[in-house]
Amino acid sequence: MEQKQFQAESKKLMDMMIHSIYTHKEIFLRELISNASDAIDKLYFKSLTDDSVGMNKSDFKITLAVDKDARTLTITDNGIGMTKAEMEEHLGTIANSGSLQFKKENNLAEDNQIIGQFGVGFYSAFMVSKRVTVKSLAFGEKQAYVWQSEGVEGYTMDTCEKDTVGTEITLELLDDVAADAEGNGGENYSEFLDQYRIQSLVKRYSDYIRFPICMDMTKSRKKEDSDEYEEYVENVTLNSMVPLWHKNKNEISEEEYNSFYKDKCGDYTDPLCHMHVRNEGTITYDALLYIPSHTPFNYYSKDYEKGLQLYANGVLIMDRCEDLLPDYFSFVKGLVDSEDLSLNISREMLQHDAQLRQIARSIERTIKNELQRMMKNDREKYEKFYQAFGLQLKYGIYQDYGMHKDLLQDLLLFPSSKDGKLVSLKEYVDRMPEGQDKIYYAAGESIARIESLPQTEQVKDKGYEILYFTENVDEFAIRMMQGYQEKQFQSVLDSNLDLESEEEKKELEEKQESSKDMLEAVKKALEGKVGNVKLSGRLKSHPVCLSSEGELSMEMAKTLNAMPG
């Protein structure tokens, strides 16, 4: 028998997780059932192309069993199983390298939400168990292995007897804790030995699992010709097996949508919204899409992987199909199920698949429409979305030389000089006063910095609103747009704002002429630091200002200079 320690990192995370993130410890069951279902999906998919599997769809199932005397709950599946190495890798380490890296850079103890984003599903078993035993025989292997752990300290591995392919997980439940005199602090784990409790948990969290979840239930009935009752055992299928996305929208509760999301997408917070669509045009598909309510910890890094699950007629054929989502909507999670896709389609073929491209285009429209609707009908929610993912939309405009600007420009929001609220370009243009023909903006590192810029005064005095660009990508993105509704964007930091009347201009020219010597002297004193020194008619409460001429603004030049390489 081999005895191993969990990695130090895993230990710490596991400890925090067990004690803090799950407010509902009951969801361990959903996690384990979902893993069992994933494992069956994998073997079922294999069985479609590999005769040696020797299984039909109807052979697959998940079995739950309780043993009150031993205080155990066992979850068994006949899925693909795990090899010894897979058990070590998947059950012996808690987080992937990306999240570990993240953990080092951030103080995780302070932020439980983030822990929730790791793949810690299996470990939730320790919230209710004093000991967890996993026996597994992987498809294609002869030797089965048993993994056993009592939590943080470590685990043991050994060979074991198991004739059938699949995994059996036995939980030895923790002892109940009595409440104190005031009734606080009690914990009940025996509830997970109650068949009706288990039944209702499966209904609640795992009803849509597409393979039967079966349990022997003890029931009682009246004996024939007698008033006496007798007990009998019936094997009951606990779930309806209808995939959520095939149900009617009005039959699905918000809680079901949310719980499905949390299960499938590995998030522990409810999503911001869901989109459930059935498309029956030239191509038929169902899609269930979600927008998370917060930015995934690695979202703006190269570690983030976008994509949707892809099903062909109810069979999972790809866990993360990237081609279904454009980069600017890469935050969307969920799945697509289409009857029109062929099952044995390969990864390479998918990339060139016309039907897939069609689905992707249609999904893109769905997302765009949903966001626009949200912006219109629930501004608060939209701003929450924008806070999390707005940056990505701006990158989307900037990428591909503004090719997607028409799709994305109406989803943008900016702070402005008006009232501290975020404003869309359309709102800006709609409330432009008579005589204003440009969209004014000022770029800087913060709103406070921008507001203190001398150049904003003259524009505001004119009664014109100024958009505040506080993110590096802002100015690059709007340059790609080359205007909005035939209005040009105009930086208030440009030297030629052309806001003066003819008279004012003339006066300034004369002054410029008469102050020539002085200006030359200043220019000389600042040589190498500025390109030119001019009189300005734009200053009110500030003595001087810097402004730019030509293609690059000062802020853009700063960004480019700061870029590596």
- Interface map 322-361 toward ligand ADP (x if CB under 6 A): ----------------------------------------
Tell me, residue by residue from 28 to 67, as one string, x for binding to Mg ion by CB under 5 A and - for no binding. -------x--------------------------------
158 among annotated binding-site residues: no
Q: Taking the complex as a whole, how short is the minimal distance between the CB of residue 90 and Mg ion, in angstroms?
A: 9
Interface mask toward Mg ion for 108-147; x: CB under 5 A: -------------x--------------------------
* CA pair distance 79, 210, nearest whole angstrom: 13
- Residue 82 interacting with ligand ADP (CB under 6 A): yes
Give the nearer residue to ligand ADP in terms of CB position, either 79 or 326.
79
Question: For residue 252, how many C-alpha atoms fall within 13 Å in the half-sphere facing its CB?
Answer: 22
Q: Which amino acid is at 145?
A: Y
Strand order, beta sheet including 333-338:
273-280, 284-291, 333-338, 308-312, 315-321
Q: Does 167 bind ligand ADP (CB under 6 A)?
A: yes
Single out the residue of 547, 530, 532 nearest to residue 492, CA to CA.
547
Q: Are 70 and 129 in contact (CB under 8 A)?
A: no
For 1-32, b/e burial (b = at least 16 CB within 10 A) is eeeeebbeebbbbbeebbeebbeebbbbbbbb
CB neighbourhood size of 232 (10 A)? 9
User: Dihedrals φ, ψ of 329, to 5°?
Assistant: -115, 30
Residue 389 Cβ vs ligand ADP, minimum distance, rounded to whole Å: 23
For ligand ADP, the closer of residues 121 and 415 by Cβ is 121
Contacts with 239 (C-beta within 8 Å, 6 or more apart), sequence order: 202, 203, 206, 207, 208, 209, 212, 213
User: Which 182-211 positions form the footprint of Mg ion (CB under 5 A)?
Assistant: none
Task: Provide, rounded to whole angstroms, the least separation between the CB of residue 121 and Mg ion.
Answer: 3
Q: Is 517 annotated as a binding residue?
A: no
CA neighbor of 464 nearest in space, from 502, 511, 428: 428
Q: Tell me, what amino acid is at 92?
A: G
Rg (CA), the chain: 31
DSSP 42: H
User: Does residue 79 contact residue 38 with C-beta atoms inside 8 Å?
Assistant: yes
Q: Is 35 annotated as a binding residue?
A: yes
- In the list ligand ADP, Mg ion, none, the entry touching 36 (Cβ below 5 to 8 angstroms by class) is ligand ADP
CB of residue 373 vs Mg ion: minimum separation in angstroms?
33
Q: Flag whether 118 is marked binding.
A: yes
Rounded CA gap, 27 and 259, in Å?
Answer: 10
Closest CB to ligand ADP among 40 and 367? 40
Nearer to Mg ion, 92 or 390 (CB): 92
- What is the closest distance, in whole angstroms, from the C-beta atom of residue 260 to ligand ADP in the complex? 15
Is 31 labelled a binding residue? yes
Q: Least distance to ligand ADP from the beta carbon of 76, Å?
A: 9
Query: Among candidates 64, 371, 14, 4, which has minimal Cα distance to 200?
Result: 64
The residue type at 446: S
Kindly state the smallest distance separating residue 34's Cβ from ligand ADP, in Å: 7
Nearer to Mg ion, 121 or 537 (CB): 121
- From the list 11, 46, 90, 523, which residue makes contact with ligand ADP (rule: CB under 6 A)? 90
Cα–Cα distance between 57 and 190 in angstroms, integer? Answer: 34
Q: Is 121 in the site for ligand ADP (CB under 6 A)?
A: yes
117 is in an annotated binding site: yes
DSSP 199: H
Find out whether 120 is annotated in a ligand binding site.
yes
Closer by beta carbon to ligand ADP, 124 or else 338: 124
For residues 39 and 215, which CB has a smaller minimum distance to ligand ADP in the complex?
Answer: 39
The only residue of 116, 154, 212, 266 in contact with ligand ADP, by rule CB under 6 A? 266
Shortest separation between residue 144's beta carbon and ligand ADP, angstroms = 13
For 251-254, the CB contacts below 8 A with 24+ separation are: 252/276
Q: Does 140 bind ligand ADP (CB under 6 A)?
A: no
- 327 HSE (CA, 13 A, CB side): 14
Q: How far is CA 350 from CA 42, 98, 336, 345, in A?
A: 19, 28, 14, 7
Interacting span for ligand ADP (CB under 6 A) from 1-9, 43-51, 115-123, 287-295: 115-123
Q: Are strands 62-67 and 72-77 parallel, antiparallel or unpaired?
A: antiparallel
Q: What residue ranges bind ligand ADP (CB under 6 A)? A: 31, 35-36, 39, 77, 79-82, 90, 119-122, 167, 266
Binding-site residues for ATP, please?
31, 35, 77, 82, 97-98, 117-122, 167, 347
Binding-site residues, please?
31, 35, 77, 82, 97-98, 117-122, 167, 347
Q: What residue ranges bind Mg ion (CB under 5 A)? A: 35, 121
